[in-house]
Structure 1
Amino acid sequence: MNDDIPDISEEEAALHARVKLLRQEHADLDASIEALGQAAIPDQLMIARLKRKKLALKDEIVKIEDRILPDIIA
């Protein structure tokens, strides 16, 4: 056995997979916002909606990461 690799629970593996998916969606939104901003007449309402969704995704990512690596006060 290799003792260097920590055993992670099935729940933790699912959380890691969820974070990966959310990060990809966050990056996709970033690309969409950038593309909309480059338009001749940018749709400011759509950009604002995408930015709010992007922020909500970031908040969810942070919450999940906090569950994976809790802040331990030493």
Structure 2
Amino acid sequence: MSHIQFKTFGQLALADYEIFSSIPSHPFWSQVDQVIDFSFADELCAPLYSTQGQRPYAPSLKLKVHFVQLKKL
């Protein structure tokens, strides 16, 4: 089986870097990011993705989005 390549967002522009560096860290999500390595989702879901076509979003990114949505409820 071929290695799945997920979408990459490339290098940040200077304006993006300035904005992201001025945002204060979130008390909950910054700790979650340090404690949990979400890359297990990429390895676990890799057989479900095709090597053909556009690169998909990484399952780890999708999992993080779901956690953010749950935390807001």
With the shorter chain as reference, the TM-score category is 0.3 to 0.5
Q: Normalised by the size of structure 1, how large is the TM-score? A: 0.32
The alignment's TM-score, normalised by the length of structure 2, stands at: 0.33
Structure of larger gyration radius = 1
